A and B are shown apart, each in its own frame.
Chain A
Amino acid sequence: MAVASDAATALRPLDPAYVLKEAGAVAAIVFALSISLVGFKTEDVPGGITVVTRFGAVAIVTVIAFFGRLGLILLREGRPFPVLVTALPFALALFALLLWDQLFAPEIGLRRFLPFGDIIVNWLLAIFAAILAGRAAWTFRHEPREQSAEEREKKMDRVVAAPVQRAARLVGPLLLGFAIILPFLPIADRRLLDIGILVMTYIMLGWGLNVVVGLAGLLDLGYVAFYAVGAYSYALLATHFDLGFWICLPFAGIMAAFAGILLGFPVLRLRGDYLAIVTLGFGEMVRIILLNWYDFTNGPDGISGIPRPSFFGLPFVRNPPEGTETFHSFFGLSYSPIDRIIFLYYVILLLALATNAFTLRLRKLPVSRAWEALREDETACRSLGINPRNTKLTAFAIGAMFGGFGGSFFATRQGFISPESFTFIESAIILAIVVLGGMGSQIGVVFAAILLIGLPEFFRELQQFRMLAFGATMVTIMIWRPRGLLAHREPTIHLSDEKTPTGHN
């Protein structure tokens, strides 16, 4: 046992066979996955479709996986030096190449030295190499210490989540200020604004679903149903009765809330997986009804010609009908199509802010505490006289209401809706935002929405591998923060009346 006493400082001898086996196994898995995913690609050519092989990329991916894993093993065994001297120059060289290529001289042709054809993949590779080098440098300075997952989780909660949650009071207004002035910044083009609108729609939906999933702990996989109800409520009311967006908005919310109660009743006794299955079914039912009730919803043809929202009755059109005024003529501006986008941007900003204000206020009320208590322990709730039926139904109704608001905004933005837009993947994305953001965290939803909606939009370059990036983001967050990015909870009520006794931490 003499060795054991020195074990803290002495290195265990490496078994090369074991190391090679582990790294080789990872490389083999990557090879097996990438040979079909990366190795073959179909391309449209005149007169048909052809398969392009990319075995070079497969080989590069496999080699990188092998060395990456080797590096991780060395780090784990407390040998950071070889990792540092390999990963750091590699990362630096890659960054240099990329910067040179993008900033100065794309025409020189340095691009052919890059391992991948897609620039964005090279960036990711450089970042991974840099992270590996950073970890190696960290291991140099600090003793490698085994931490249990729970310990790490607690530490992360204390070091990252709690300060961020507190900083949210500062970050929130900053983000809000940025969101308000964004349309007037020089970087704001049509594409950026569209992404902004999309991200904010999802933020709003995330905040709505947060009530159901994050607070009440009811796993809802059919949230898109309420989104659809809201969208169709507005579309049908507007096209049949010629009502405006702002009048229809509350109706859409109420209709969606009723749909929420309708879903809530049969699932009152269900929990966890069973609840998830039923809500999933509900989401599909709504979509299929919309698809098949041709007389009412126009079925797969969808509803077109949904009126755009107007600025206090002033429409955003170039050539108005005789005798009516438009936004640009009223304010004496020249017509610009981006005006409408900016207006939509502010509408969704307003809706999202309203959702935020409403849900933050709810947090301070007994109903929200009852939701959380219900999530924690339903039996204990009943023993304290909390009516689980009403409490759950309010959660479903309020969550659904925001889904409905989001839906009618979606309808007015698109101008056309069909059941195609309300598939399960939408529910999954909204749920992913809530879960990754950290259940119950408002600012977490914002970050997760930017990460999951904003980034994939920027990853459009990757084409069909975009969803792969989406998946990779989710897996990374789940490994790094299994309870969500910012799963830290502050008490909603304090003994003393002062709002924030958080000076100490």
Chain B
Amino acid sequence: MNNRATSDHHDTSLLTVEHLSMRFGGLVAVDDVSFRANDREITAIIGPNGAGKTTMFNCLTGFYKPSVGQLTLHHPHKGDYQLERMEEFHIPQQAGVARTFQNIRLFPAMSVLENLIIAQHNELMRASGYTVTGLLGLQHYKRAERKAVEFSRYWLDRMGLTARAEWEAGNLPYGDQRRLEIARAMCIKPVLLCLDEPAAGLNARESALLNELLLFIRDEHKIGMLLIEHDMSVVMGISDHIVVLDYGRKISDGTPESVRNDPAVIRAYLGEEEDAELPPKVARDIKKN
């Protein structure tokens, strides 16, 4: 439908999804979805519950192997990566794809700072000579560790968590846990950040803070973002580009404005019961009927 909006920026595209399908036995969770996500843009993926959004994320980050399709990450410095062929634990480090989870997955018994340090694991492993030279207590590793701490401090400051760096991550308030998870994902220095419902469970103020944070990451760190979100104030407020899924199929793709007025999207959302998830125009339509 509205593919032109993305193909204009062909030269800066970061992720190309081509004919992605994911089947679980007889169930088709994602059905022949293709789209592009551009560098330095926030691409939102929306759709009713069960539309296949998280499944697609899991394919992108290697947790599932797609049944069909090609997922190409155009790394700005290192060239292209075929994500569907990579082991899931290689994707973050080599291709630079980071993700957060719908239900927050921190390391709850470890400190806030440690959570961020673990994200820099592979760098530190190299610095510690894969533990062999690290055991000798060489200065080389100490320096690398300090550097990692300073990098974490940057994100702690940005998230307002510096004072609580020694807290157990599991003891943080919910909103801070969400922010810590984003900070942790940023600590692997990604080129593509995949956020799975980052605004879920946040109040209005926290939600506004999140918007600000995501725009900051896009503009200051110059990376691309994929965003699954139900909160339309977040989606419409900050996305540059929206892809709409329903029953595993892509039903719309374009700028927020064009998606908002797309009849296919309105139809898909009419079946939903929760007003909060409806785009404003749709909500108005329901009231009229």
Contacts and interface: CB of A to CB of B under 8 A. Distances in A.
Interface of A: 358, 361-362, 365-367, 369-370, 372-373, 376-377, 379-388, 394, 489, 491-495, 497, 501
A410 B154 CA distance: 51
B113 A384 contact: no
A383 B88 CA distance: 7
Contacts of B108: 376
Nearest to A501: B166
A365 B101 contact: no
A361 B137 contact: yes
A500 to B, nearest CB: 12
A382 B101 CA distance: 12
Nearest to A398: B131
A278 B90 CA distance: 28
B245 interface: no
A495 B162 contact: yes
B146 A491 contact: no
A385 B113 contact: no
A384 B114 CA distance: 13
Contacts of A491: 110-111, 113-114, 166
A410 B188 CA distance: 45
Given A369-B121, A491-B114, A495-B165, A385 B149 contact: no
Contacts of B162: 495
23 contacts: A365-B128, A365-B134, A365-B141, A366-B131, A366-B134, A367-B125, A369-B114, A369-B118, A370-B121, A379-B101, A381-B118, A383-B92, A383-B105, A384-B121, A384-B185, A384-B188, A385-B91, A386-B89, A394-B131, A489-B110, A493-B145, A494-B165, A494-B166
A370 B119 CA distance: 9
Contacts of A362: 131, 135
B105 A380 contact: yes
A385 B121 contact: yes
Interface string B184-195: 110010000000
B121 A495 contact: no
B247 interface: no
Contacts of A358: 135
Most buried by B among A358, A386, A394, A497: A386
B135 to A, nearest CB: 6
Contact of B109 (A370, A376, A379, A381): A376
Contacts of B125: 366-367, 370
Most buried by B among A367, A369, A382, A385: A385
Contact of A384 (B92, B111, B149, B166): B92
A369 B117 contact: yes
A112 B121 CA distance: 67
A358 B132 CA distance: 11
Contacts of A361: 135, 137
A488 to B, nearest CB: 11
A384 B90 contact: no
Contact of B101 (A381, A383, A394, A501): A383
A370 B118 CA distance: 7
B233 interface: no
B107 A385 contact: no
Contacts of B145: 493
Contacts of A382: 62-63, 88-89
Contacts of B149: 493, 495
A398 to B, nearest CB: 9
Contact of B184 (A376, A379, A384, A492): A384
Nearest to B87: A387
B122 interface: yes
B153 interface: yes
Contact of B146 (A367, A373, A385, A497): A497
Given A365-B134, A373-B110, A495-B165, A384 B128 contact: no
Given A362-B131, A370-B121, A383-B61, 19 more contacts: A362-B135, A365-B134, A366-B121, A367-B134, A369-B118, A373-B118, A373-B121, A376-B108, A380-B101, A381-B89, A382-B88, A383-B99, A384-B92, A384-B121, A385-B122, A386-B121, A491-B110, A495-B153, A495-B166
A386 B125 CA distance: 10
B93 interface: yes
Contacts of A497: 146
8 nearest A-B residue pairs (beta carbon): A385-B92, A385-B93, A491-B111, A376-B107, A366-B124, A380-B105, A365-B134, A373-B118
Contact of B90 (A367, A385, A494): A385
Interface in B78-108: 88-93, 98-99, 101, 105-108
A266 B282 CA distance: 54
A379 B165 CA distance: 23
A373 B114 CA distance: 9
B127 to A, nearest CB: 8
B106 A377 contact: yes
B238 to A, nearest CB: 23
B270 to A, nearest CB: 35
Contacts of A366: 117-118, 121, 124-125, 128, 131, 134
A492 B168 CA distance: 12
B114 A492 contact: yes
B117 A385 contact: no
A494 B118 contact: no
Contacts of B63: 379, 382-383
Contacts of A381: 89, 118
Contacts of A492: 114
Contacts of A367: 125, 128, 130-131, 134
A373 B134 contact: no
Nearest to B124: A366
Contact of B113 (A370, A388, A493): A493
Interface in B135-161: 135, 137, 141, 145-146, 149, 153, 156
